[in-house]
Amino acid sequence: MPTLICRHFSAFYRAYFAMIATLLLVLTPRPSTFPDGEHLTRVLAKDFITVHTRNTPTTYYEGRQGPTGFEYELMHRFAASLGVSLNLNASHHPDGVLPAVREQGDLGAAALPLMADTPGIHYTRPIIEMQPLVVYRRGLYGINAPEDLVGLSIGTLSEAGTSDALKALQSDYPNLSWKESNELEVAELMARVENGTLDAAIIFDHQFRLNRLFFPNVERGFYLGEPLSLVWALPSGRGLGLLEAANQFLQELHENGTLDRLISRYFGHDDYLEYVGTRTFLDHLDERLPRYTELFKQAARDTGFDWKLLAAVGYQESHWDPNAVSPTGVRGLMMLTNPTASEMGVTDRTDAAQSIDGGARYLRSIKDRLPDSITGEDRLYMAMAAYNVGLGHLYDARNIAERRGGDPNLWQDVRAALPLLQQREWHSQTRHGYARGGEPVIYVRNIRRYYEMIEYVERSRQQFFQLEQTPASEEPLLLFEIVPPLTP
């Protein structure tokens, strides 16, 4: 599923990453006193790899289902590829990761920017690009260019890479001043912009994507400087075996599409938010979903689905409105047709309990009727598509996918075939004829994003909104170091 963030990883950037990785390997000095594989051999011998990281939504944190986070997913997979356990130290601030890697760690994975000539450190090939971004409080107009930052109260993180963009800018705008902190994280900066303690902040674009849902009064400004590369750090002087293993692992993730899927899952919400509207979605989470949460959970227990998935279907269908009616006559929170309601024993489609129960059982019945050859997430996505367009049209699309040389058991191939049901050339050859095949593609895409956002809100909301409610008067000034203007 293409998203805005995924489009950043075009062929150009893939080539750029490959070039940087090659230069890193070529220019990295190979120590004469250590065999290339010593560090790797030690990791394998002790049967675990120690990774220094940070406790943030973009790196690592404890979710309801256990450890999660973009870089956690990567480091967990890397440890598994080595056949060792993962030992995490997540107690660091940004400026503490590299010293820990030099002194005691095997690897640092903490949204680290590639910084040339870092003493005692080898860096892996780039993982993703990190574009510095200006964000500002809603109501401050005209924040469109670097000169607009002069005179504002600006915050950023030290040692994270964003402060370097400000330092480069200061040579052209010597009156520019800002605050740096090595104790805060991105969400805390955004909270201070939200509550008025700061006018603006410099963070990375992917961090804004992940956090913006919780700070609707923080606006996207403009990109600042050139993008940096997110990398992992390893200690130098211990051989290159572990570095080469990490580079090979990351290269494989680029090539097999795993990295793009993780990027989409964690950072691909920006177009979703534009579609739904941040405030509308938050309002509905506050005002509507709590009325039906227990009904979704009961339906999930009865049918084996994740309740948040069922809630996402309900939001896609009706925005959790039990009285919703479509022009074609489908009705209720789960928007059941009359025949489907009768089949599921639903006597009142506007009754939320009946609608949620009936919709969940109908989705389960569709999923159970699919061929056994469709497995995993492909089976779920095809069941959702059939909920929207009908099982017969889904089978037609599977046949088209196969005739085009695709795999009818893979959602990505069936997804490409569904819109062809709108073309006479193709639907004239099918059993069930014309269908608005583009709709189930969008339908499944939206539900996946709604689900991800509901899940994220559930596990993170309390943390972020505690930050949001912090009064500006309680701002601990000692958390920031002021970088003064160059001119008195």
Answer yes or no: 185 catalytic: no
How far apart CA 449 and CA 482 sit, in angstroms, is 39
Per residue in 259-273, is it b (16+ CB within 10 Å) or e — as a string? bbebbbbbbbbbebb
Bridge partners of residue 429, in order along the sequence: none
Residue 426 CB-density burial (10 A; 0-12 exposed, 13-18 middle, 19+ buried): buried
How far apart CA 332 and CA 350 sit, in angstroms, is 5
How far apart CA 5 and CA 239 sit, in angstroms, is 35
For 83, list phi and psi in degrees, rounded to 5: 80, 30
Per residue in 236-256, is it b (16+ CB within 10 Å) or e — as a string? bebbbbbbebbbebbbebbee
Secondary structure class of 219 (helix, strand, coil)? strand
Q: How many CB atoms lie within 10 A of CB 11?
A: 7
Interacting residues of 80 by C-beta distance below 8 A, sequence separation 6+: none
Q: What's the per-residue H, E or C state across 299-330? A: HHHHHCCCHHHHHHHHHHHHCCCCCCECCCCC
Catalytic residue among 180, 188, 219, 317, which? 317
Nearest to 361 by CA among 284, 293, 295, 449: 295
Q: Are 266 and 452 in contact (CB under 8 A)?
A: no
Strand runs (DSSP E) across 200-289, as ranges?
A: 200-204, 218-223, 228-235
Fill in the DSSP letter of residue 26: H
Task: List residues with catalytic annotation.
Answer: 317
